[in-house]
Amino acid sequence: MSSEALARLAEERVDHRFKGLPPDADGLTVGELAAQRRNLFTGGFATPVLALSAERLEHNLRLMEAYADRHGLLFAPHGKTSMAPQLFRRQIEYGAWGITLAVPHQVRVARAFRIERVFLANELVDPAALRWIAAELAADPAFRLVCYVDSVRGVELMDAALAGAPRPVDVVVELAAGEGARTGVRTEAECAAVADAVASVPTLRLVGVAGYEGEVPRADPERVRSWLRRLVTLAVDFDKAGRFCGVEEIVVSAGGSAWFDTVAEVFTEIPELSLPVLKLLRSGAYVSHDDGHYRRLTPFNRVPEEGALEPAFRLWTQVVSRPSAEQAFVNAGKRDAAYDLDLPFAQAVRRDGAERPATGVSVTALSDQHAWLRTTGEADLEVGDWVGLGLSHPCTSFDKWQLIPVAEADGTVVDYVRTFF
């Protein structure tokens, strides 16, 4: 990964593009502002402001590195969760094989920072994007990209766009998680037909099989386990049929953020194949975790002896209206907080430098720039108070903030994370 490209992020000037940052910091570089180690609560930051916990971020990175090592997995965390090259670097420093992405634009971001291994968990049939990827592969022998295929027609389109490319693009056949699921091949016979199509063209190289167990209909441990065993069997059958000729290893990949314990369990069942097996886990939401969706669904709830992820986001807002004893409004809404799966959670109130739990306060709705709060008789809330909100679903939290302060427990801001959505 390019240290020079990352260093340039620190040279970017702070200005009106970056909400929540201190107005008097305009004109400073990001690096200069970080060096000031301002306090999130007293250093001139304007509400609403989203912050990442430095300690919890570090904890989550260490935990998932240890988990992957313990279970014999390699790890390509889904970078579309954050689209933050600084976090990509830290994930790679903590043992990640590479970064998983979903669309060509995201790959361009990764390559701008010289990420060398990308797993594109999607079909790719756009000619312009394929030609760009072919050029990247030709220019950089260290660059490796693996992407999905799920149809003969897709193979034909890829081959046409890649005609004459000096390096083939590595592909994995995507096995659908079931009827009515998202993308992927529905039957093993169709998987074989797609693999045959790949073998018939010089521009593609079949390196494995993959899929996403989070799309299993009515997912529960047994249904997810059953689908994962189908995926493993597909890899075994392809290997027996000699479909991985000319590759160095066989890729078997799955793993969102809700069932990675089941992925780890079933991947231990992969038998010895004719080549080494790259068992690739792709969970991405762990990096910040959350206070809602993934906190409920994390596999660490099922296997607590493995550890526990910690929610690392908090959105600090300010009470701007208190029209009644039962109602208050803060100045953050849909433009600032994830809301596609759960509303934010009122967690803390700050007044005059003191912080306390947000007892008797709950979020009931979001407008564009306001959160609606319901307050009970226990709530001690006044106009001007800061209210800290926990967030659900990090995938739609990062995309609302281009520059996110990383704060220690006492509020000291030690870094700023740049996102590219």
Whether residues 316 and 271 share a domain: the answer is no
Beta strand residue intervals within 102-152, DSSP E? 117-123, 144-149
- For residue 278, give every residue at least 6 positions away whose Cβ sits within 8 Å of its Cβ, in sequence order, or none: 74, 97, 208, 249, 250, 251, 252, 253
Supply the pLDDT for residue 2: 87
- Whether residue 79 lies inside any domain: the answer is no
Whether residues 276 and 325 share a domain: the answer is no
Supply the pLDDT for residue 90: 97
Whether residues 270 and 382 share a domain: the answer is no
Q: How many domains does the chain have?
A: 2
- Whether residue 81 lies inside any domain: the answer is no
pLDDT in tens, the chain (421 residues): 889 999 999 999 999 999 999 999 999 999 999 999 999 999 999 999 999 999 999 999 999 999 999 999 999 999 989 999 999 999 999 999 999 999 999 999 999 999 999 999 999 999 999 999 999 999 999 999 999 999 999 999 999 999 999 999 999 999 999 988 999 999 999 999 999 999 999 999 999 999 999 999 999 999 999 999 999 999 999 999 999 999 999 999 998 899 999 999 999 999 999 999 999 999 999 999 999 988 988 999 999 999 999 999 999 999 999 999 999 999 999 999 999 999 999 999 999 999 999 999 999 999 999 999 999 999 999 999 999 999 998 889 999 999 999 999 999 999 999 999 9
- Whether residue 297 lies inside any domain: the answer is no
CA distance 173 to 149: 5
CATH number of domain containing 248: 3.20.20.10
Whether residues 126 and 196 share a domain: the answer is yes
Whether residues 35 and 179 share a domain: the answer is no
- Whether residue 394 lies inside any domain: the answer is yes
pTM (2 decimals)? 0.96
- Whether residue 199 lies inside any domain: the answer is yes
Supply the pLDDT for residue 297: 87
Q: Which of 248, 283, 318 is the last residue of a domain?
A: 283
Q: CA 50, 55, 59, 65 torsion: positive or negative?
A: positive
* HSE-up of residue 375 (Cα within 13 Å, Cβ side): 23
- For residue 175, give every residue at least 6 positions away whose Cβ sits within 8 Å of its Cβ, in sequence order, or none: 184, 185, 191, 209, 210, 211, 227, 230, 231, 234
Whether residues 125 and 255 share a domain: the answer is yes
- Whether residue 221 lies inside any domain: the answer is yes
Whether residues 223 and 342 share a domain: the answer is no
The DSSP string of 218-256 is: T--HHHHHHHHHHHHHHHHHHHHTTTTTT-SSEEEEE--
CATH number of domain containing 21: 2.40.37.20
Whether residues 211 and 344 share a domain: the answer is no
Whether residues 156 and 262 share a domain: the answer is yes
- Whether residue 60 lies inside any domain: the answer is no
Q: Which of 283, 299, 324 is the last residue of a domain?
A: 283
Domain that holds residue 319: 3-54+310-418
Task: Report the first-to-last Cα separation within the chain, whole angstroms.
Answer: 19
Residue whose pair of structure tokens reads 């809330």 in the numeric block: 381
